[in-house]
Amino acid sequence: MNAWFETVAEAQRRAKKRLPKSVYGALIAGSERGQTIGENERAFTELGFAPHAAGPIGERDQSTTVLGQHLSMPVLISPTGVQAVHPDGEVAVARAAANRGIAMGLSSFASKPVEEVVAANPATFFQLYWCGGKDEISERMARAKAAGAVGLILTLDWSFSHGRDWGSPQIPEKLDLKTMLSFAPQTLARPRWLATYVKSGRIPDLTAPNMAVGGGAAPGFFGAYGQWMGTPAPDWDDVAWICEQWGGPVMLKGVIRVDDAHRAVDAGVAAISVSNHGGNNLDGTPAAIRALPVIADAVGHEIEVLLDGGIRRGSDVVKAVALGARAVMIGRAYLWGLAANGQAGVENVLDILRGGIDSALLGLRKTKVTDLDRSDIVVPDGFERALGVPENPAITRPATASA
């Protein structure tokens, strides 16, 4: 079979065939009835384009900057704490991102240490959860900074909801011999995945090395998760504290309301990502793309506004940028690429997005990605969601942007 794939949907099909059932299930994630995860993708299908039939256009330029980092296209790797997809894990993703000129977001719950990931891609943003006491949080930030991370992504939108109507994947606490044997029917049915691990001489150790503190060993994924669950939720003063402690650019990921966007600005963040955690958090939260336009209007002149959730093709990137995002972050798309073909699979996904962005720019007769605006997009009435706007706390308002 040709290792190259044509679309992100094909990468997903290959990931499903290649990964053990529980690993693929963890990567799909989602929560409750899966309303939000489905909505994130569906909402993009409601948006259309208003292309030109002819007209001059120069060489297309997709470049932009985010948190001071130059990006060859308006796409970043969103942090994902997922294990056992590929032995090279986030290092392979970081290399692919570096080869394609984009930045890497590294999760606190990642399987690879921040030092190795920054070595693979100097444009790395370290993602932090509010987990443990302030001393531990400071220590994790200091480690990431010392490793050379050039920005911090603070993710606070998590509500520990895990029931899934389609069933949650079975993930072991650690992989000892007994557990490996119990997973044998799944893993033996996936010989190519198994062969990649055998070749690497490693088995997934299911630890979170970036959560270690006090010079201790990397905690197990679930040990770290338990600590996070037991940590009282932060408030806006804590967000301001993080910004001070980090002393560099901070992005707050998971903003979906306008009032929160204003508070994030007040707390001192340099960027936000309009996001619902890829539909893994509070099910019933609207698609991120629906909440984007009103948030971009409200704070886009003060801070950088990004979006993540549901990006599967270059045209999705263009729609988000035209509706006010400076750039987008991708999660599942690159994880599927990684599962399908390692580093080359992630590069394949990034090339698919780049090609799709280029086609859309050509059709819209826009030379630069930064020239995109709402006149390029067809937005149906009622598409937008204005959450937490003072004049209308009742959640919805009619669409204002249409072409």
Ligand X SMILES: Cc1cc2nc3c(=O)[nH]c(=O)nc-3n(C[C@H](O)[C@H](O)[C@H](O)COP(=O)(O)O)c2cc1C
Q: What are phi and psi of 280, to 5 degrees?
A: -95, -5
DSSP assigned state of 279: G
285: contact with ligand X by CB under 6 A: no
Q: Are 321 and 328 in contact (CB under 8 A)?
A: yes
Among 80, 207, 315, 343, indicate the residue that binds ligand X (CB under 6 A).
80
Stretch that binds ligand X, among 117-125, 255-263, 307-315, 349-357 (CB under 6 A): 307-315
280: contact with ligand X by CB under 6 A: yes
Residues 280, 294: Cα–Cα separation, whole Å: 23
Site string for ligand X, 140-179 (x = CB under 6 A): ---------------x------------------------
What sign has the CA pseudo-torsion 270, 276, 277, 281? Answer: positive
Q: Are 272 and 291 in contact (CB under 8 A)?
A: no
Stretch that binds ligand X, among 59-67, 223-231, 327-335, 353-361 (CB under 6 A): 327-335
Residues 109, 23: Cα–Cα separation, whole Å: 15
The distance of closest approach from Cβ of residue 128 to ligand X in the complex, given in angstroms and rounded to an integer, is 9
Among 82, 211, 258, 299, indicate the residue that binds ligand X (CB under 6 A).
82
Stretch that binds ligand X, among 13-21, 194-202, 222-230, 330-338 (CB under 6 A): 330-338
Give the list of residues 6+ apart from residue 199 with CB closer than 8 angstroms, or none: 87
356: contact with ligand X by CB under 6 A: no
**Cβ proximity to ligand X, 112 vs 366, nearer residue:** 112
Closest CA to 293 of 311, 312, 279, 307: 307
Residues 174, 77: Cα–Cα separation, whole Å: 27
DSSP assigned state of 370: G
The distance of closest approach from Cβ of residue 280 to ligand X in the complex, given in angstroms and rounded to an integer, is 6
Quote the strand ranges of 61-106, DSSP E: 64-66, 69-71, 75-77, 104-106
**Cβ proximity to ligand X, 84 vs 118, nearer residue:** 84
Give the list of residues 6+ apart from residue 143 with CB closer than 8 angstroms, or none: 114, 210
Alpha helices in 83-176 (DSSP H): 89-99, 114-120, 134-147
The distance of closest approach from Cβ of residue 225 to ligand X in the complex, given in angstroms and rounded to an integer, is 10
Q: Tell me if residue 277 is catalytic.
A: yes
Give the list of residues 6+ apart from residue 23 with CB closer than 8 angstroms, or none: 83, 84, 85, 169, 193, 339
**Cβ proximity to ligand X, 44 vs 383, nearer residue:** 44
The distance of closest approach from Cβ of residue 394 to ligand X in the complex, given in angstroms and rounded to an integer, is 27
Q: Which residue is closest to ligand X by CB?
A: 331
When computed from its CA atoms, the radius of gyration of the chain, rounded to whole angstroms, is: 20
- The amino acid at residue 344 is A
Q: Determine which one of 52, 70, 86, 277 is catalytic.
A: 277
287: contact with ligand X by CB under 6 A: no
> Could you tell me the CA-to-CA distances from 153 to 78, 80, 270, 271, 319 in Å, in that order?
9, 12, 10, 9, 23
79: contact with ligand X by CB under 6 A: yes
What sign has the CA pseudo-torsion 84, 87, 90, 96? Answer: negative
Stretch that binds ligand X, among 56-64, 170-178, 329-337, 383-391 (CB under 6 A): 329-337
The distance of closest approach from Cβ of residue 194 to ligand X in the complex, given in angstroms and rounded to an integer, is 21
Among 107, 111, 124, 285, indicate the residue that binds ligand X (CB under 6 A).
107
Among 147, 270, 306, 311, indicate the residue that binds ligand X (CB under 6 A).
311
Among 81, 113, 172, 293, indicate the residue that binds ligand X (CB under 6 A).
81
The distance of closest approach from Cβ of residue 127 to ligand X in the complex, given in angstroms and rounded to an integer, is 5
**Cβ proximity to ligand X, 318 vs 364, nearer residue:** 318
Residue 150 tokens read as 């050039």
332: contact with ligand X by CB under 6 A: yes
Residue 317 tokens read as 């990137």
Residues 118, 114: Cα–Cα separation, whole Å: 6
Residues 135, 145: Cα–Cα separation, whole Å: 15
330: contact with ligand X by CB under 6 A: yes
Stretch that binds ligand X, among 63-71, 277-285, 315-323, 350-358 (CB under 6 A): 277-285
27: contact with ligand X by CB under 6 A: yes
**Cβ proximity to ligand X, 350 vs 364, nearer residue:** 350
List residues near ligand X by CB under 6 A.
Answer: 26-27, 29, 40, 78-82, 107, 109, 127, 155, 253, 275, 277-278, 280, 308-311, 330-333
Please list the active-site residues.
277
